Amino acid sequence: MTSYIKKTECKRCGKCCTKGGPVLHIEDKTLVEEGHIPINRIITIRSMEPAHSPHINTVEPAASEMLKISGQGKEWTCAFFQPSLNNCGVYKTRPIECKLLFCEDTAGISAVIGKELLQRSQIIDKNTELFDFVQNHENECPFSMLHEMAGQSRKGTSLPENSRADISKLIAKDLVLRDKGIAHFRFSVEEELFYLGRPMYFSLPYYGLHPEHFLPS
């Protein structure tokens, strides 16, 4: 008869790493400050931005801002995962979610998901022009505004022309501010994804809308 032994520690098979990088928590702040996790490997998921929810395994508006380790290429495989070695490149300085994740018992990570999340405001120096710029972008182009404008389309209701025009203006404003930020602060593409998150038009398909219908001509 085959005997079954309950596994109590991670096998480091890399399966979880290929499903996406972790979200950072306040406890991970020192990893960023010390350069173990550089900002060009972090993507900001802004509050109310449609994003994958691990609890229900579907996409829904984020309840709060999240800083997530970026993927590789067009995939969400964690940026620090080394496929050729089937290993983590920052294992000794990995984030708290990685330490708690155990495929066969998810109680540990489930207990911290969505709690004490690290924010951009805790990383960017508040006494800088850059901090003010990021805050202004958040105030001028909040995802809550897009959600309010496009929400009824998500429910299958056609949007009136004035709502479509408002969405186009919001998408255009987001892009204009990004261009200003890149020109003034010399962001790389990767740094832009940390400071400003993903362009808002990326989220339009969640509402059943085609981005090309709302982008500036």
Q: Give the three-class secondary structure for 214.
A: coil
Contacts of 148-154 with CB under 8 Å at 24 or more apart are: 150/204, 150/207, 150/209, 151/207, 153/207, 153/208, 153/209, 154/206, 154/207, 154/208
Element at 137 (helix H, strand E): helix 129-140
Total domain count, the chain: 2
Last residue of a domain, one of 121, 150, 184: 121
Q: Note whether 71 and 19 are within 8 A (CB).
A: no
In Å, how far are 33, 123, 169 from 166, measured between CA atoms?
39, 32, 5
**Exposed, middle or buried by CB within 10 Å (0-12, 13-18, 19+), for 51?**
buried
- What's the pLDDT at 3? 42
Distances (CA, A) of 216 to 101, 106, 122, 168, 173: 43, 44, 34, 7, 10
- Does residue 145 sit in the same domain as residue 90? no
- Decide the pairing of beta strands 50-53 and 42-45: unpaired
Which of 111, 25, 16 is closest to 66 using CA atoms?
25
pTM greater than 0.95 (yes/no)? no
Domain of 151, in residue numbers: 124-213
Q: Are residues 25 and 117 in the same domain?
A: yes
Per-residue pLDDT of the chain (217 residues; tens, 9 = 90+): 344 344 556 777 888 888 889 999 999 999 999 999 999 999 999 999 999 876 677 899 999 999 999 999 888 899 999 988 888 999 999 999 999 888 777 788 888 888 999 999 999 999 999 999 999 999 999 999 999 999 888 877 889 999 999 999 999 999 999 999 999 999 999 999 999 999 999 999 999 999 999 999 8
Instruction: Quote the pLDDT of residue 55.
Output: 66
Q: How far apart are CA 187 and CA 195, in angstroms?
A: 9
Same structural domain for residues 27 and 106?
yes
